[in-house]
Amino acid sequence: MLFKKMGTFTEGDAKKVIEMVSERPEEREIIIMAEHVTDGAKRRLWDYARGIQLMADMTGEDRSVRIEILEGYVSEHVKGVEL
């Protein structure tokens, strides 16, 4: 799932993204496209991905979430969830 943010992607934005993605357990990828991403937001997203992996390991599931952060340019032509 692609999330776009003109300006700075903050820790609060990361929390919103995690809430949206956690409602869809079949989601395997989070892509963030923003002009700038704070370190706190990156940490929160990576912690979420690690938490999903740990829970999957404990329950024997094969589930993971890949995080990709595209920083610097936000394209208007790419379809995604606007924050």
Q: pTM to 2 decimals?
A: 0.87
Q: How far apart are CA 11 and CA 75, in angstroms?
A: 22
**pLDDT per residue as tens digits for the range 14-64:** 999 999 999 998 889 999 999 999 999 999 999 999 999 999 999 988 888
β-pair partners for 71:
34
Bridge partner list, 67 = 30
Q: What is the mean pLDDT of residues 66-79?
A: 90
Residue 73: the pLDDT is 85
Residues facing 70 on adjacent strands: 33
Q: What is the C-alpha to C-alpha distance for residues 74 and 62, in angstroms, rounded to an integer?
A: 32
